[in-house]
Amino acid sequence: MQGFEAYHHQKKIIADLEAAINLLQWDQEVNNIKGSLARRASQLGTLSAIKQHKLINETYPLVQKLCDAPNLSTFEQKNIEQDLKDLKKITRLSVEFAAQLAEACSWAQSVWEEAKKESNFKIFEEPLEKLLNLKRQEAEYYGYDTEPYDALLDIYEPGAQAKQIAELFSSLIPPIKDLLSHIQKKTKPAEDILINQIFPKEKQWALGIDTLKHLGFNFEKGHVGVSSHPFSIAISMEDVRITTRIDENNLHLMLYSTIHECGHALYEQGLPPEYYGLPVAQACSLSIHESQSRLWENNIGRSLAFCEFLFPQLVAYFPDALQNYTAYHFYQSVNRVEPSLIRILADELTYHLHIALRFELERSLINGQLKVKELPEAWNQLIKEYLGLEVPNDAQGVLQDIHWSLGSFGYFPTYSLGSLYAAQFYNTLQKQIPNLQEDIKQGKFESIHQWLQENIYSKGRLYTSEEICQAATGEKLNPQHFIDYLKNKLETIY
C-alpha cells in the first residue's frame, strides 16, 4: 500500500479514533453515569493522546511526502492540500496537551451539569478557569495575527477573525433591534398555542419520530435520544445520533429542537461514505453545518407551507389541545417574537442578540479583559442591554449553555453565520425550485434534498464556506437576505 491509498488508510484510522471519542461523549451526555465520570475523562484523554500521536508521527509525514507526489488527480490533490492546512495547525499541540485539554473538558462538563442544577456559578468557576487557561495556551500554540480569540474562532470557521465578526454584528444588530421595536410598538405577540397545555411525553416522542421520517432522516443510519441540551454527533455517516428534549407543557421545544438537529443529521448522512476519513467526507465548517439546521428549523420549518403540512398531524396527536386552532394559528405561534432569557427558546429575530452577547463575553474572557468571577454580572448586564430583561438566577443566565464547559470558545458566532447562510440558500432554493412552497405544503422534500446534496453535502470540506456559498447562490455571504427574509415574514404576520 502506497501513495494516496496509504494516506486514505491512515485517515480511516484517525476517523475510527474520532468515532470512539464521539461515542464516549454521546454516552456521557445521554446516559450520564456519574460514577464513570473520572474514568471517562481518563479514557477520553487517552484516546485523544493516541490520535494526536498518530497525527504528528504518522499522518503528517505522509501528507508532507504526498504534497510533491506525481500523478495525483485533482481530487486527490485537493484532499491532500486541505489536510496539510489542518495538520500544520493540529501538530502544534503536543500529545500531552491534547490529553490534558480533553480531561479538563470532561471534568468541566460534569461540574457544569451540577452547577446548572444548583443554579450556582461558583461551583463552575474553578473548572472554567482551568479550561480558559488551557484554551489561551492552545491559542498561543496555534498562533494568531491580532488577538488570541482569532485562533480559537478559526477552529470552527476557518479564516474568520474576531474583528470581522464584530463588524458583522455591528451591521446586523441595529436592523434587528429596529424590527423588534417596530413589532413591540405595533401589536402584542401572537398567542403561543404550543405551551401551557398538556402534551404527553410519549405522544411528543412519537410525533418527533414521525417528523424525522417525513424530513428524510435515515433511521437505518441514525439514532434518536433525549438529553438536557439537544445536540447531534456523528460516529460516522452511517451512525449519526441526535437528541431532543421533551417538556409536557411545551410542544414547541421538542418539535423544533428535533427539526433543528435533523438538519445537522441530514448533512452528516449526506456525506460520501466511500471517502470516510478524507476531507471530502467531512462537513465544511460549523457555520455551514449550522446553516443546515437553521434552514430546516426556520426557513422551511416555520414557513406557512410547512405549518399547513404538519398541523393536521399535530391535531391528530393532540386533539384536546389543538382542535380549536388552525394551521395559521400554528404559523403565527411558531413565529412569535418576544425577548426571552433562554437562547434555545429565542425567536428567529432576538436569537442573534443572544449570540452577540456571548461573542462579546467569550472574546473578553479569552483575551483577558474579563475575569471568570466577573462573568455572571457581565452576563446579566448585557442581557438587560440587549433584551431588556432581568436575569433571576444563574441557571437561566450564565449557566444555560453547555458550550463553554466543552471548551467550545469561538463556536457561538457560527450560529449567526449559519442563519445568514441559511437565508441565502433558501432564497436561491425559491428561485431554482418553482414549486417549492407547494412541495413543502405536501410534505415533498426530495427537490430540497437533491439541491443540498449537489451544492452542500457533496463538497465536503474541500471548499471554504464562502466558496460554497458563492458557487451555490452566485454571490458571497450577504446578510441582507436574512434581514429581508425576516421583514417579509414578520411584517405579514404582525
Q: Which residues are catalytic?
A: 261
Q: Which residues pair with 242 in a beta bridge?
A: 224, 232
Q: Name the DSSP letter for residue 195.
A: B
Instruction: Provide the residue count of the chain.
Output: 494
CA distances to 168, 179, 238, 465 from 174, in Å: 11, 9, 43, 25
Radius of gyration of the chain (CA): 22
Q: Which one-letter DSSP state was computed for residue 300?
A: I
Q: Which helix (H) or strand (E) holds 307?
A: helix 304-317
Write the single-letter amino acid at 465: S
All 3 cell numbers of residue 381? 448586564
Distance CA 494, CA 332 (A): 9
Q: Please check whether residue 411 is in contact with residue 389, taking contact to mean a CB–CB distance below 8 angstroms.
A: no
Closest Cα partner for 341 from 273, 297, 404, 397? 397
Residue 266 C-alpha cell reads as 441530514
Element (H, E) at 234: strand 232-236
What residue type is assigned to position 326 of the chain?
Answer: T
The residues with which 241 forms a beta bridge, in sequence order, are 223, 233
Contacts of range 77-82, beta carbons closer than 8 Å, 24 or more positions apart: 78/279, 78/280, 78/462, 79/278, 79/279, 79/280, 79/462, 80/4, 80/7, 82/279, 82/461, 82/462
Nearest in space to 89 (alpha carbons), one of 139, 14, 22 = 139
Distant-in-sequence, close-in-space partners of 16: CB < 8 Å, separation ≥ 6? none
Q: In sequence order, what are the beta bridge partners of 140? A: none
Burial of 322 (0-12, 13-18, 19+ CB in 10 A): buried
Most distant pair of Cα atoms in the chain: their distance? 70
Grid coordinates in use for 464? 471554504
Give the count of beta carbons closer than 10 Å to the beta carbon of residue 72: 16
Distance, CA of 325 to CA of 334 (rounded, Å)? 13
CA angle (321, 259, 184) in 5-degree steps:
65
How many CB atoms are located within 10 Å of the residue 132 CB?
A: 21
DSSP structural state of residue 34: G
